Amino acid sequence: MDMTVASSATEAFRNAYGTDPAGLWAAPGRVNLIGEHTDYNDGFVLPFALPQHVVAAAAPAGTPGWTVCSTLAEETVTFTTTEPGGVEGWAGYVAGIVWALRDAGFDVPPARLALASDVPLGSGLSSSAAVESAVLTALVELGGLELPLAERPALAQRAENVYVGAPTGIMDQSASIRCVEGRALFLDCRSLAVEQIPFDLAAAGLAILIVNSNAPHQHVDGEYGARRKSCEEAARILGVPALRDVTPDDLAAALEKLDDDVMRRRVRHIVTENQRVLDTVTLLRTGRIREIGPLMTASHASMRDDFEITVDQVDVAVEAALAAGAYGARMTGGGFGGCVLALIDADQAGKTTAAVEAAYEKRSFTAPTTWSATPGPGATRLS
Ligand code: GLA
């Protein structure tokens, strides 16, 4: 973990409030190895935590209400009431957590917070879930609130769904709160059961190269909501609680019941993607990491052709990485820009990066940013 983020949060706290914080809490961004848009269909996901994180420096306040500042914003925001939507912008994620805790019956202590982060913004790496998770962990500990770890992601998701108004699933908050170093988090988004799956890339001589396409996010909210609506409508027509309940064996019969070609393709993505997560987990349980490559690449094709959530920049990054010898590559996150993951031999990071950069230059795309990621820890107290 890069401790400069922790130092920045401490410094911001001292500058804003003229005293030392009572503690520092960190929560990571995430990438999803496989299982995209399956979470709100009660399906399966397999994220792991990034080394980049949000740090919340926090202390109880002597006056009512909550005050928060951030190294990424000019203004310091204070709120004393927490009706959904009352605070907008970045501080809304903080107010949303206070609201969700109070709505669940907790007596949240008045507090002062200062945030710092090195999770890239708007890149599909869950920078907002990292803010929510860091603030939630800080407030739970400051207030001595009895909220078991397993129940925290759903509470943070409510902040995002109800307070901020984004119709997201439970993956990102689960990853930020429940991930464990060196593991990928296999989450059943219906039962919320988790299994920590060994994912020791270094021991296998492998690396996951993350390529941030730096493509501008466009129409993200509307398109995300439209995908979710289409999936829910399909489940209703098929007479199942969620698309999770359609198995690959049922798929052909299910598709016959749907008239709309777009909806049929959305369903096919979810059903096949859930199976790819299960197949990936089966391979990883016995350490067969290289063999997950084709599943990653098939996942990308499904997101591109059936779910239609990719853009040229991510498709080009996937193709260039594969042409340079990657075992598999796929977009990660909600889509319409964001990052690509490529599974490569550890000594091929330079070559793969050069191949993607050359492909971007040829098309006059903004240059990508790349780094190798290993699974880091979930939300934790630093000091
Ligand atoms: C975003 C959402 C998640 C999930 C992914 C797609 O990150 O916040 O809930 O739906 O997109 O897999």
Q: What angle do CA 122, 126, 129 make, to 5 degrees?
A: 125
| pLDDT confidence of residue 229 | 98
The pTM assigned to this predicted structure is 0.97
What are the CA-CA distances from residue 136 to residues 57, 107, 133, 227, 281 (Å)?
12, 13, 5, 29, 29
What are the CA-CA distances from residue 59 to residues 74, 87, 138 (Å)?
21, 21, 9
For ligand 1, mutation pick of 46, 171, 176 (most atoms within 8 Å of CB): 171
For ligand 1, mutation pick of 30, 32, 36, 37 (most atoms within 8 Å of CB): 37
Pocket (CB within 6 angstroms of ligand 1): 32, 36-37, 39-40, 168-169, 171-172, 333-334
Closest to 40 in 3D by CA, of 148, 164, 174: 174
β-pairing, 111-117 vs 47-60, is antiparallel
For ligand 1, mutation pick of 38, 168, 220, 229 (most atoms within 8 Å of CB): 168
DSSP string computed for 92-154: HHHHHHHHHHHHTT--PPPEEEEEEE-SPTTSSS-HHHHHHHHHHHHHHHHTT----GGGHHH
CA dist 9 and 263 (Å) reads: 46
On the CB side of 200, CA atoms within 13 Å amount to: 6
Å from CA of 171 to ligand 1 middle: 6
**pLDDT tens digits, 58-92:** 999 999 999 999 999 999 999 998 789 899 999 99
CA dist 125 and 216 (Å) reads: 14
- In angstroms, how far is CA 178 from the centroid of its own chain? 12
Q: Whose CA is nearest to atom 9 of ligand 1?
A: 169
> Which ligand 1 atom is the nearest neighbour of the CA of 38?
12
Give the whole-number percent of the chain exceeding pLDDT 70: 99
List, in sequence order, the alpha helices (H) in 286-374: 293-305, 312-323, 349-362
Which candidate in 172, 200, 250, 305 is catalytic?
172
* Residue 84, SS3 per DSSP: coil
| pLDDT confidence of residue 220 | 67
| pLDDT confidence of residue 1 | 67
| pLDDT confidence of residue 81 | 85
Q: What angle do CA 82, 219, 360 make, to 5 degrees?
A: 125
- Ramachandran class of 284: left when φ > 0, alpha when ψ lies in -120 to 50, beta otherwise: alpha
- In angstroms, how far is CA 301 from the centroid of its own chain? 20
Å from CA of 38 to ligand 1 middle: 8
Å from CA of 7 to ligand 1 middle: 30
Residue 172 annotated in active site: yes
| pLDDT confidence of residue 219 | 57
Q: Whose CA is nearest to atom 1 of ligand 1?
A: 334
Å from CA of 32 to ligand 1 middle: 9
| 341: phi then psi, degrees, rounded to nearest 5 | -110, 135
What are the CA-CA distances from residue 102 to residues 64, 82, 92, 93, 107 (Å)?
14, 9, 15, 14, 6
**Residue ranges for the chain with pLDDT beneath 70:** 1, 218-220
Å from CA of 224 to ligand 1 middle: 9
CA dist 170 and 258 (Å) reads: 27
Q: Whose CA is nearest to atom 5 of ligand 1?
A: 334
**pLDDT tens digits, 262-311:** 999 999 999 999 999 999 999 999 999 999 999 999 999 999 999 999 99
